[in-house]
Structure 1
């Protein structure tokens, strides 16, 4: 078995470019990291970012196994994924929208009201149930990656995609949890809760009612 990477450099560059755009494109992951960073502090945002980056490996696994194409072509499986993801976004959005009396903007990250495990799970589930992420991986592993590309190379591609998400969302969390920004967020806490809650609900409704195939 050859472990020479140079024959796959064009693929690697293409995957890396797509990975960057995949990570920074606005969507449920971004809104969820924003929510946790603003309301619960930097640590919660970072754990949510870690959850997102690790959930990427679920998509990598089924793509390498060739299941992405099956999922995309199965109305039942893809619809199940789509509605589960939509329901989760609406659920979190509704909790955020109506919880202005209990959510507090944390001015110190080590006093976050959301446990690290809970923050991680929110990020993980949000990405794992995101049908748009499935579409991204379908396009990467059917249009960019050659079917004969060795599994170890495809694993490198997965690592690049996961790392891009971890770096991007960690940067988002660090930026949004700056003390100066959090003090401003505190002044507008109720309005921000309504906006972010509404965005999550809107994203959930859009996922549920849009044909992503």
Structure 2
């Protein structure tokens, strides 16, 4: 089992990454603002199931890779560092889109399709798999027991954090959109704060040592 303090730090890192805008967040906000909370919640259920799919695949993959490939940890650490730096750049790049600026003409779909699109949006998003493969090894240590169990433990933690934040986003999307539309300074401040935190995580990951 992973020590509580390590798990707590991972949860904090997962929180920072969850609130970093990406396809899942944009999809949920778009659906919620244009079609209401019920549609947003159905879409969220699909997104969460997509996370579970990635967790199972990556957990078994990490168990195989970390034991079978020399220097796998270094490769994954490097990949994770560049991934976090990429997210930081995406947060502050010129003309980056405000995630609350959505297409008002999205048609209403039935619940089954809403779930399916949310699921596929997550499953087919390579950034999610890259995050798991590059970030999980930073918190996994052989002395804590089974790599598979530790991976699943981290995955469940990440899903709970993601579910909590995205659920709050669905409930408050319309109000948040109005607030940010009337306070553009907050949007710029949020982007730079996000970039700073992501860069900090990237540096920490780059300096971490193999287990």
Residues 129, 176 of structure 1: alpha-carbon distance in 2 compared, 3 angstrom cutoff:
closer
Map 1:73-152 → 2, pairs under 5 A: 74=74, 78-87=77-86, 89-90=87-88, 92-94=90-92, 98-100=96-98, 103-104=101-102, 116=118, 117-122=120-125, 125-126=127-128, 128-129=130-131, 131-137=134-140, 139=141, 142-145=142-145
1:63-115 Cα deviation digits (max 9, x unpaired): 4225178333x3x553244214432x145424796224982398x9x689xx5
Residue 125 of structure 1 and its aligned partner are, at CA, apart by 1.4
Does the 8 Å CA contact 2:91/2:192 hold for their aligned counterparts? yes
From 11, 16, 40, the equivalent of 1:27 is 16
TM-score (norm 2): 0.58
Map 1:147-158 → 2, pairs under 5 A: 155=148, 158=151
Map 1:45-64 → 2, pairs under 5 A: 45-57=44-56, 59-64=58-63
Does the 8 Å CA contact 1:38/1:176 hold for their aligned counterparts? yes
The alignment of Structure 1 onto Structure 2 pairs a total of residues equal to 180
Residues 127, 62 of structure 1: alpha-carbon distance in 2 compared, 3 angstrom cutoff:
closer
Could you tell me which runs of 5 or more consecutive residues in structure 2 were left unpaired when the two chains were aligned.
Answer: 33-39
Does the 8 Å CA contact 2:85/2:198 hold for their aligned counterparts? yes
Residue 162 of structure 1 and its aligned partner are, at CA, apart by 2.9
